[in-house]
Structure 1
């Protein structure tokens, strides 16, 4: 067989193909879909840990704001309850946000903010206690942040 004939044959095939075949496109889409499915599933495993990290950072910010409030008023915002409650959290949200937004422009909520995952607050004026739940089963529930 002559080299020129072989070369002409392949160049003709190459010139006749203007795009991808349906099979090639379907295989490519299948591969991309599989990669997307696997990566999404792996990302879902890390979301609870990310929310727990956000919860802990939010609580730390609120502790700092409460300590600044204490420095100015020589007392923490006092609650009527004997244990941390969601009503106590609403009270400090109002106080910390309404003091000319000096302490916090916006008091954070739990990333999920469902019945199970809420922040609660209690204070007698000299100490405070904030309870919150995490999604990590290894953490004791509820976690407590103290201030004095």
Structure 2
């Protein structure tokens, strides 16, 4: 008796399936490796945009009250508790809510006064930038190593808000 075993050419061979699965796995690993970096950059973008909006609210506050929100603790900026100066903006109707940083980092504030070219300083720490000196809009009023917004490469994004009627 003769065995009539016929092999169908329909379908994929085991080698073909392994090649396709390995290519899909390689592509998936590339996507997963780049995903955390893109989420950090997205959170940083949100931080920078929100800080610019807070700066606009501070300027409006100054136009109305002829002063910036005061420093609650002389000599210290608001970094540990962001609610004080932001709550003043909310109470004045210039900001709709007390913002929460997308990555649980604090928005920092310190008012250097009208006789200083810095004015009120807004600061946030970014995740995906090792040096923010080259980021447009980030002011650097101090020499390297002197303060939080020095000319050193650091991850602070700083906005100076001088007491100027011409902004």
CA-CA distance at 1:53 after TM superposition: 2.1
Measured against aligned partners, the alpha-carbon deviations of 1:90-114 in whole angstroms (never above 9, x if no partner) come to 1122122233xx312124332211x
1:91 aligns with 2:84: yes
What residue in structure 1 maps to residue 66 of structure 2?
Answer: 74
- Contact 1:119 1:130 (8 Å CA) reproduced: yes
Q: Relative contact order: is structure 1 or structure 2 higher (C-alpha 8 Å, sep ≥ 6)? A: 1
CA-CA distance at 1:131 after TM superposition: 2.2
Local SS of the residue matching 1:41? helix
Structure 2: gaps of 5 or more residues: 1-5, 133-152
Cα root mean square deviation, aligned: 3.0
1:143 aligns with 2:135: no
The correspondence for 1:106, drawn from 82, 97, 103, is: 97
What residue in structure 2 maps to residue 50 of structure 1?
Answer: 42
C-alpha separation in 2, matches of 1:132 and 1:53:
11
Runs of 4+ aligned structure 1 residues displaced above 6 Å come to 24-27
CA-CA distance at 1:72 after TM superposition: 1.4
Change (3 A) 1:33 1:106: farther
- Contact 1:77 1:125 (8 Å CA) reproduced: no
Paired residues, number: 129
